[in-house]
Structure 1
């Protein structure tokens, strides 16, 4: 939002508070470069001296650092705060003088020093889920609108139905079944026959959402230093989890038909990876779905080089019929199937599950018991009831149609604004080419009240990127695209002018 001269705060303090909030929320991640003094002054409609004073205060607070002849960069707040080393005999905190600030902010070649920690990317993405830039629909959101999810009132009714006194007592006063509620596992086994995955309830284990499922698999099958192949662009939380566990992350470029098989083959020959993590259907962020030919070749590589394939089918609920899944072709021999219900029902209903080969089920269960003991049986019983009565299927069908209508509308208004899609629009998300650095674009759009998801968040290491991901359900407003078009033009003009 625009700075105001009628505020009780000075323009300098308003600017400081704006940057400080975004840095602490990691919407400006560690290693991100602040706009140059001239560019910031132009964007905010203030004098260069106001920006210099604001940057000086951010330096004094230890939120940014000045790099001589390069500009100002966000410090890593997760590292222990220590006194900054002197540069040319001058301090880099409160003692920085005006001349030093201006020198640091002078236009120069772009810095190649960027945050390589994928956990920073993930933190920015996750924290953005809780950040409300304004009352506008937020195109960077990863979930469906609340108004849509409120249609799933059958879940609340199911909870009321199963929480009679005896069920409530049994579900609350005991730990429940380690593998998860038996009724839900039976319902899930039946549901998986819809995608031709034949599996019994004893091969299914419930989890606290799909993210927890992926974590259980990693902790059960890997040890620190093990190489893991992950699609790129991809979900940065997965990069971050593996990085935090000490794994060697091997990014595999994702194309329209699937992962780059030549890259996978080279990794197999040189690194002997233990795992490959894939979103076969409606890949996030590109919307791509795996072709049968690619699926067969992936499974051949897994057999030849002896690694497991983890198939994250989070978006399977809204997928077209008969979409290709690795687990269907493989029959859960080398594949491990993961799914959850947060996207389709409600983000706070953390119910997910794993369908796995029989020989590794006990290992997965041991890890689950060590991390969460069991999972909430009352919610699991309620979900089982909704599946058995066909309510979840009908709700998924409605959401699929509603997303398709939103996608058509969002694509129409985006194309009218001159947008180029980097991949054919499909599913819940769109992958958009902007032509400008989307890290910088994100900050400018936040000033306008819109949160977008910059492309750098979807890569294993943070690099300059001109792509952004949008949520079609939240990108139907023509006003967003008018603002986006103006800000992109201003950003492009500033970059070409050396600002």
Structure 2
């Protein structure tokens, strides 16, 4: 038995093997470890992984289908049933769009909350022990002194704590984004900022360009709002950044309203765009009259010299979004956006209707962390630690025969494991490793051999041995039973 074999089923038990197997998958579906739309292992793969005959697997899948938990799709296999009805098919031909969220985004978020960082190479955040607890504690203590006490007994400014916005003007200036406090709006994290933009600047039926691969939660939010998604390939054929030839064609054919993108340390590939790409992208936005949402959530983990679209554009067509959860603490839900005065007025109105204001207490605490350069120094230490982690992870990947789909940078690496990563995710989960298959980041949930690797949580050699064993198992002929 290889190290990739899951906990064996109990032979000779009162419960038949098929029923044991069905219960195992049913539990995963109920716990959302298998999200709606996820593909179950093929009958042959499942039989090999669990050491049973294909007939046993077929019987187990039939039980799950009878219980309404999975569905069989002709020539494709068995899939977890979707919990939402598919959108009505359009009457006329449309661009390549999603009819429903390509995965249950809540399952992805729940996994982020429940994951054990030490066993989660697919985690999307830094582990807790990488964060600076003394920095947070110092900021909280200072909240109880001087004028900081006043923010604890008021709603606060709808635009956000003024002291934080002044600190953000300095932060953005360091990135080349020259703005004023009046052009900044604080939010409950970067995700809330993106949500405000979708609800304020877009309408159902609008076409929107979006990175593919990209962030599944954003795919789900846009689809829920009735937006048509135009996938722009990212990191294809080794070229960093979006495929601008495809983007130009889609823009000419479908007149998109916007483009949502991550220009620096893209999730999941780790790519950052260069100046030439940034300039051409902004020219295309002018030519086809769409605005750009630049999500810079991982910006603190990148060198400040990397080009930001907002810096080159002057916030004319670009809305800049960022936050502090990735480097400070996810517990303080503080994000912000920077935009032109015309856009900011409408966005502020939506924020007021959404929840009046954001937390002045947490915003003042973040301002205190930014002041005197303490957060900057913490971010520098994180960048240095990540650089060391990337060296170790790259060495482990190479030692076990894996290659990168793109040169790793920042927190993430886009690893090519040579087999379908949705198929390999199940035996890895059996062995206790939570991974992030590439299909999770695909607008169309296209299967492939790529997976996102978190550099901070993938340094255990045991994971790489397990990954190698599981990949080799999938390449072997089916076992005879």
TM-score of the pair, normalised by structure 1: 0.86
Structure 1 residue 145, shift from structure 2 partner: 1.2
Q: Unpaired runs of 5+ in structure 2?
A: 1-5, 87-97
Q: Give me the whole-angstrom Cα distance separating, in 1, the residues matched to 2:179 and 2:326.
A: 23
Q: Give me the whole-angstrom Cα distance separating, in 1, the residues matched to 2:274 and 2:205.
A: 31
Alignment root-mean-square deviation, CA: 2.6
Q: Give me the whole-angstrom Cα distance separating, in 2, the residues matched to 1:309 and 1:66.
A: 40
* Pairing 1:146-157 to 2, within 5 Å after superposition: 146-149=128-131, 151-157=132-138
- Structure 2 contact 207–229 (Cα < 8 Å) conserved: yes
Label 1:293 to 1:60 Cα distance change in 2 as closer, same or farther (>3 A): same
Match for residue 384 of structure 2? 401
Structure 1 residue 71, shift from structure 2 partner: 4.3
- Secondary structure of the corresponding residue to residue 103 of structure 2: helix
Q: Residue 5 of structure 1: which of 10, 19, 23 is its match?
A: 10
Match for residue 33 of structure 1? 39
Label 1:165 to 1:119 Cα distance change in 2 as closer, same or farther (>3 A): farther
Note the alpha carbon deviations across 1:104-133, whole angstroms, 9 max, x for none: xxxxxxxxxxx963352534432321344x
* Pairing 1:458-469 to 2, within 5 Å after superposition: 458-469=441-452
Match for residue 431 of structure 1? 414
Structure 1 residue 365, shift from structure 2 partner: 0.3
Label 1:29 to 1:381 Cα distance change in 2 as closer, same or farther (>3 A): same
Please say if 1:78 is aligned against 2:90. Answer: no
- Secondary structure of the corresponding residue to residue 476 of structure 2: helix
Note the alpha carbon deviations across 1:411-463, whole angstroms, 9 max, x for none: 10111000010001111100011221111111111011101101111111112
Match for residue 158 of structure 2? 178
Please say if 1:248 is aligned against 2:231. Answer: no
Q: Give me the whole-angstrom Cα distance separating, in 2, the residues matched to 1:145 and 1:135.
A: 6
Please say if 1:378 is aligned against 2:378. Answer: no
Structure 1 residue 27, shift from structure 2 partner: 3.2
Compare 333-342 and 48-57 and name the one that shifted more: 48-57
Label 1:158 to 1:57 Cα distance change in 2 as closer, same or farther (>3 A): same
Compare 363-372 and 56-65 and name the one that shifted more: 56-65
Please say if 1:54 is aligned against 2:60. Answer: yes
Q: Give me the whole-angstrom Cα distance separating, in 2, the residues matched to 1:52 and 1:388.
A: 62
Match for residue 180 of structure 2? 200
- Structure 1 contact 163–378 (Cα < 8 Å) conserved: no
Structure 1 residue 263, shift from structure 2 partner: 1.5
Equivalenced residue count is 461
Label 1:388 to 1:498 Cα distance change in 2 as closer, same or farther (>3 A): farther
Q: Residue 365 of structure 1: which of 342, 348, 351 is its match?
A: 348
Note the alpha carbon deviations across 1:295-344, whole angstroms, 9 max, x for none: 11111111222211111111110112310111111111111111011111
Please say if 1:441 is aligned against 2:447. Answer: no
- Secondary structure of the corresponding residue to residue 391 of structure 2: helix
Q: Residue 284 of structure 1: which of 259, 267, 272 is its match?
A: 267
- Structure 1 contact 125–453 (Cα < 8 Å) conserved: no
* Pairing 1:196-345 to 2, within 5 Å after superposition: 196-255=176-235, 256-345=239-328
- Secondary structure of the corresponding residue to residue 230 of structure 2: strand
- Secondary structure of the corresponding residue to residue 231 of structure 1: strand
Match for residue 94 of structure 2? none
Q: Give me the whole-angstrom Cα distance separating, in 1, the residues matched to 2:215 and 2:72.
A: 31
* Pairing 1:5-154 to 2, within 5 Å after superposition: 5=10, 10=15, 12=18, 14-48=20-54, 50-66=56-72, 71-79=77-85, 117-120=100-103, 122-132=105-115, 136-149=118-131, 151-154=132-135
- Secondary structure of the corresponding residue to residue 153 of structure 1: helix
Q: Give me the whole-angstrom Cα distance separating, in 1, the residues matched to 2:130 and 2:248.
A: 42
Structure 1 residue 65, shift from structure 2 partner: 2.7
Structure 1 residue 20, shift from structure 2 partner: 1.7
Structure 1 residue 31, shift from structure 2 partner: 3.5
- Structure 2 contact 178–314 (Cα < 8 Å) conserved: yes
- Structure 1 contact 234–284 (Cα < 8 Å) conserved: yes
Q: Give me the whole-angstrom Cα distance separating, in 2, the residues matched to 1:328 and 1:37.
A: 52
Label 1:219 to 1:346 Cα distance change in 2 as closer, same or farther (>3 A): same
- Secondary structure of the corresponding residue to residue 27 of structure 2: helix
- Structure 2 contact 297–322 (Cα < 8 Å) conserved: yes
Note the alpha carbon deviations across 1:400-419, whole angstroms, 9 max, x for none: 11111111101101110000
Q: Residue 474 of structure 1: which of 457, 461, 464 is its match?
A: 457
- Structure 2 contact 325–333 (Cα < 8 Å) conserved: yes
